[in-house]
Chains A and B, each alone.
Chain A
């Protein structure tokens, strides 16, 4: 009898756990916390993308952010520029880190309401980290739907003495159209670009545009 009562309690507990899950397909749809954990172990970006796009149903913002922050950690730590990995290991790590960036990019694009708005600030964080993936993160920013935000972020990186500053200047000129050129003109006239290579790049752009 005691065993049956214990079984009943267990059954109730399991039911409570199941219904705490977000979707009707909970049996085969992993929870965001599990996805974040699996991202660290096997780099399952597909699940992460489904979570961030809320393809399996809505999730709390904190759950989405936890998955996205795990992608940031992968993009930064796997592509740290200080390493002692053999070439083949390094290549695989860079591939994993690049995929994390690409997942954030795709999550931020949408479509529509499925867009994860936390992507751009996280791509910015990767860009500011100085990791090998920083230029890829900036490129990913250029495909995000909020162009004004992208311009702001690229401008911000351009003004920093950071690894990705030359890429930010380049993308403002090459990918952001008239607004990008206007942004660069403002930076040039105010002398706000400090990274040596980025500054020389901007000098060349200024010379071409006769600023």
Chain B
């Protein structure tokens, strides 16, 4: 398609135009129908018009069409672009949604393997006047780039993701690789996309040659995954810490009578020393609550907004650092999408549970308030 900036005046059957320097009368093209349809050989004039070259338009001829074949190409296959010999090429470019790549500054063809759809642009002179032409290159995307069947969730095993609890968390749903600090709520493995040189959750390859995509970097073999875990604070679990039996005499006596002397965990105190229904209800509520978060996170990760592999597939950039930046952008955006979906299971309101807890150095009958 041409992109130009000239002007056309049609007066009766007379066509005049301006090429940037003077108004000139274009030549009629010879050939069948030429006299009747006023087919005009615009040459450089068409270049300067801003009109799109339209083969169906009898006013504008398309001698200088940039052609790229095949129009649709498999990922990694060759595309060949060429323009007529009357064009004195000054610059080839490839434009895509990730940037632009400057190609050769001469020659009437440009070819090579391609990995990303975009636009080939050629700038040139014809009889000293500048012009440009563009042609689309459509690359078929790689299939099976989705993590939809790989993302999963499960109840955490004892100790798993304990390090990710905030002080206020009674339960937690997070990624199995989460750590403390800023990665406490990390859902993915790995928890972040490190700078170039680090251990990337994908491979990076470069398009060979000096064609339209020559030297572009793209992603291969993504390994990022999401394995969610639901967990309840260790204080309440059977593997939780044991505390000395001091405090309220009711529970101290009950434990001494049923289990003998010795420190006991919250779980043991509420299930073995006494069978506390409030504690059983609390544990059931906590596990269910966290499982709801996990259940909301998985379908969110299977949507386009949260599918990191799908989001990474079309990325191609001129440098490894730009590719890393784009990959991390998608990673963070997907993470936010899934986190938000997981948060959305909070319905508001609270429920109170009464059971024995070790607070301020003593066992006491306590009310634990849990948000929905």
Give A4-23 as 1s and 0s: 1 = Cβ < 8 Å from B's Cβ atoms. Answer: 00010011001000100000
| B148-197 interface with A by 8 A CB criterion | 164-169, 180-182, 184-185, 192
- Residue of A with least CB distance to B95: A46
Interface size on A, residues (CB 8 A): 56
Residues on A with beta carbons closer than 8 Å to the beta carbon of B3: 28, 30
The residue in chain B whose Cβ has the minimal distance to the Cβ of A105 is: B325
Contact for B333 among A11, A87, A98, A106, CB less than 8 A? A98
Question: Interface 1/0s, chain B 5-32, versus A by CB < 8 A?
Answer: 1110101000010101001000000000
- The stretch that binds A, out of B79-87, B104-112, B237-245, B337-345, is B337-345
Interface 9-residue window, one of B263-271, B273-281, B302-310: B302-310
Selected contact of B332 from candidates A102, A135, A173, A200, CB within 8 Å: A135
**CB-contacts of A88-106 with B (<8 A):** 88, 90-91, 94-96, 98-99, 101-102, 106
Give A11 to B17 CA distance when docked, in angstroms: 9
Establish whether residues B48 and A203, one from each chain, have CB atoms under 8 Å apart when the complex forms. no
Q: Which A residues lie within 8 Å of B303 (CB)?
A: 87, 90
Query: How close is A1's CB to chain B, nearest CB, in angstroms?
Result: 14
Any B CB within 8 A of the CB of A70: no
Expressed in whole angstroms, the Cα–Cα distance for A106 and B3 within the complex equals 25
Shortest Cβ distance from residue A96 to the other chain B in the assembled complex, whole angstroms: 6
B332 near A139 (CB under 8 angstroms)?
yes
Does A134 lie at the interface of the complex (its beta carbon under 8 Å from any beta carbon of B)?
A: yes
Choose one: A43, A167, A203; the contact of B168 (CB below 8 Å): A203
B99 within 8 A of A: yes
Is B311 a contact of A94 with CB atoms below 8 Å?
yes
Q: A7-B16, A102-B326, A200-B168 are in contact. Are A26 and B5 (CB under 8 A)?
A: yes
- The complex places the Cα of A3 from the Cα of B25 at a distance, in Å, of 14
Instruction: Say yes or no: is A140 at the interface (Cβ < 8 Å to chain B).
Output: yes
Q: Chain A: which residue is nearest B314 at the CB level? A: A95
Binds A, one of B126-134, B228-236, B253-261: B126-134
Query: What's the least CB distance linking B261 to chain A, in Å?
Result: 34
Tell me the smallest distance from the CB of A129 to a CB of chain B, in Å.
Answer: 13
B123: CB under 8 A from chain A? yes
**Residues in A176-211 with C-beta less than 8 Å from chain B:** 196-197, 200-201, 203-205, 207-209
A177 to B180, CA, bound (A): 17
A28–B166 touching, CB < 8 Å: no
One digit per residue, 1 when the CB lies within 8 angstroms of any chain A CB and 0 when it does not, for chain B 282-319 equals 00000000000000000000011100001100100000
What's the least CB distance linking A205 to chain B, in Å?
Answer: 5
Within 8 A of A (CB), among B312-362: 314, 325-326, 328-330, 332-333, 335-337, 339-340, 343, 346
Which of B180, B185, B305, B329 neighbours the largest number of chain A CB atoms within 10 Å of its CB? B329
Whether a CB of chain B sits under 8 angstroms from the CB of A150 is no
**Looking across the interface, which residue of chain A has its beta carbon closest to that of B178?**
A204
Question: Does A166 touch B at the CB level, under 8 Å?
Answer: yes
Which residues of chain A have C-beta atoms less than 8 A from B332's C-beta? 135-136, 138-139, 167, 170
Contact across chains for A201 and B336 when beta carbons are under 8 A apart: no
A200 near B169 (CB under 8 angstroms)? yes
Question: Is B4 interfacial (CB-CB < 8 Å)?
Answer: yes
Residues of chain B within 8 A (CB-CB) of A90 are: 303-305
Enumerate A103-134 residues with CB–CB distance to B below 8 Å: 106, 132-134
Chain B residue nearest to A169 in the complex (CB): B182
**A174 vs B303: C-alpha distance when bound (angstroms):** 27
Minimum CB–CB distance from A3 to chain B (whole Å) comes to 7
* Docked-complex contact A11 and B23, CB < 8 angstroms: yes
Q: With both chains docked as a complex, state the minimum distance between the C-beta of B15 and any C-beta of chain A, in angstroms.
A: 12
Contact of B180 with A204 in the complex, beta carbons under 8 Å: yes
Q: Which of A27, A95, A173, A174 is the most central at the interface, judged by chain B CB atoms within 10 Å of its CB?
A: A27
Q: What is the minimal beta-carbon distance from B249 to any residue of chain A, in angstroms?
A: 34
In the assembled complex, which residues on chain A have CB atoms less than 8 Å from the CB atom of B311? 91, 94-95
- A102 in contact with B95 (CB, 8 Å): no
Residues of chain B contacted by A207 (CB below 8 angstroms)? 166-167, 180
Cβ–Cβ contact A164 & B336, under 8 A: yes
> How many Å lie between the Cα of A164 and that of B23 in the bound state?
56
Q: Find out whether the CB atom of B326 lies under 8 angstroms from the CB atom of A98.
A: yes
Residues of B within 8 A of A88 (CB): 304
CB-based contact B11/A14 at 8 Å:
no
Binding site for B on A (CB under 8 A): 3, 7, 10-11, 14, 18, 25-28, 30, 43-46, 49, 81, 87-88, 90-91, 94-96, 98-99, 101-102, 106, 132-136, 138-140, 143, 163-164, 166-167, 169-170, 173-174, 196-197, 200-201, 203-205, 207-209
What are 11 pairs between A and B in contact, CB < 8 Å?
A14-B18, A27-B4, A27-B47, A91-B304, A101-B329, A102-B329, A106-B99, A166-B336, A196-B343, A196-B346, A203-B168
Given contacts A27-B47, A28-B130, 17 further A-B contacts (CB under 8 A): A7-B16, A10-B7, A27-B6, A27-B48, A30-B3, A44-B119, A49-B100, A94-B305, A106-B99, A132-B305, A132-B336, A133-B333, A136-B329, A136-B333, A166-B339, A196-B343, A200-B168
